[in-house]
């Protein structure tokens, strides 16, 4: 399970497919993922209700998805919930790396920016410490990776899955891990970790971002996305 910047947790098995070289998006997979998001039940129902007004089948090629946006853009932009619904789908597509940055930007530029609360929240040192102290040992280690490195959630998943084969160099108490994880313009070339964190990471094969996400949600702790904000602030 991977949690996205749109608040959606993407099940690892809900991947979209590529047919004939064309990217496709599964609206049904997006809906299923939305059910595990941290949106309120009422707001989630509004989003799902709006989606049925524009999408009447499960799978769409990018060109079909683009046509729906172009055809209905005036109707979409008149309604804040409709705009939010399209943005959530685009965020999902970005996290799944379905569409290129150019395609995503082209569609997002068509959407009206309704006034909404921008998430400026940055957790305090105490809140981060309280979260760490309440986590189980394995999840605590994964959380520490995000806190001390500032990497994105998807990059953390990549690191955990490939730690044993990524080149690492240790110097002065820190380890430089060569990631070379390329995602359009959001590329991660290196990850820097304290040696004591890396040594535990490389010797533990039972670590899971999905497990961490579940525990954070169950205990109402600080989500992973705020670790990066805390690290770079």
Mean pLDDT of 11-32: 64
Domain boundary among 42, 75, 108: 108
Residue 186 located in a structural domain: yes
Split into its structural domains, the chain has a count of 2
Mean pLDDT of 203-229: 92
Residue 103 located in a structural domain: yes
Are both 165 and 199 inside the same structural domain? yes
Are both 181 and 141 inside the same structural domain? yes
Residue 117 located in a structural domain: no
Are both 102 and 169 inside the same structural domain? no
Are both 98 and 161 inside the same structural domain? no
Are both 130 and 93 inside the same structural domain? no
pTM of the model: 0.54
For 43, list phi and psi in degrees, rounded to 5.
-70, -40
Task: Quote the domain boundaries for residue 149.
Answer: 125-232
Domain boundary among 108, 133, 149: 108
Residue 211 located in a structural domain: yes
Q: Structure tokens of 177? A: 């891990």
Q: Is the pLDDT of residue 40 over 90?
A: no
Helix (H) or strand (E) holding 228: helix 225-232
Are both 162 and 225 inside the same structural domain? yes
Are both 157 and 64 inside the same structural domain? no
Angstrom distance (rounded) from CA 111 to CA 1: 29
Residue 118 located in a structural domain: no
Nearest to 21 by CA among 75, 98, 132: 98
Are both 9 and 53 inside the same structural domain? yes
pLDDT band at 114 (very low <50, low <70, confident <90, very high): low
Q: Structure tokens of 188? A: 């991660």
Are both 79 and 158 inside the same structural domain? no
Q: How far apart are the first and last CA of the chain?
A: 27
| Mean pLDDT value across the chain | 85
Distances (CA, A) of 21 to 66, 99, 140, 155: 17, 12, 40, 25
What is the separation of C-alpha 26 from the centre of its chain, rounded to a whole number of angstroms? Answer: 17
Q: Is the pLDDT of residue 138 over 90?
A: yes
Residue 115 located in a structural domain: no
Are both 138 and 210 inside the same structural domain? yes
Q: Is the pLDDT of residue 65 over 90?
A: yes
Are both 141 and 96 inside the same structural domain? no
């Amino acid at each position: 399970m991977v949690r996205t910047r749109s608040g959606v947790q993407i099940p690892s098995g809900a991947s979209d497919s590529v047919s004939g070289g064309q990217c496709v998006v599964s609206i049904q997979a997006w809906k299923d993922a939305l059910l595990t998001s941290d949106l309120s039940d009422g707001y989630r129902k509004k989003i799902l209700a709006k989606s049925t007004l524009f999408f009447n089948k499960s799978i769409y090629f990018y060109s079909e998805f683009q046509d729906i946006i172009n055809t209905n853009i005036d109707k979409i932009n008149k309604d804040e919930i409709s705009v939010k619904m399209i943005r959530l789908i685009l965020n999902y597509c970005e996290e799944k790396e379905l569409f290129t940055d150019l395609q995503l930007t082209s569609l997002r530029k068509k959407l009206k920016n309704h006034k909404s609360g921008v998430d400026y929240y940055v957790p305090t040192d105490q809140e981060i410490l309280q979260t760490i102290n309440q986590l189980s040992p394995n999840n605590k280690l994964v959380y520490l990776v995000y806190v001390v490195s500032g990497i994105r959630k998807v990059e953390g998943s990549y690191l955990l899955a490939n730690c044993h084969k990524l080149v690492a160099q240790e110097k002065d108490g820190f380890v430089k891990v060569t990631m070379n994880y390329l995602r359009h313009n959001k590329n991660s070339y290196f990850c820097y970790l304290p040696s004591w964190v890396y040594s535990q990471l490389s010797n533990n094969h039972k670590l899971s971002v999905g497990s961490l996400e579940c525990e954070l949600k169950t205990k109402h702790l600080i989500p992973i996305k705020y670790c990066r904000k805390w690290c770079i602030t």
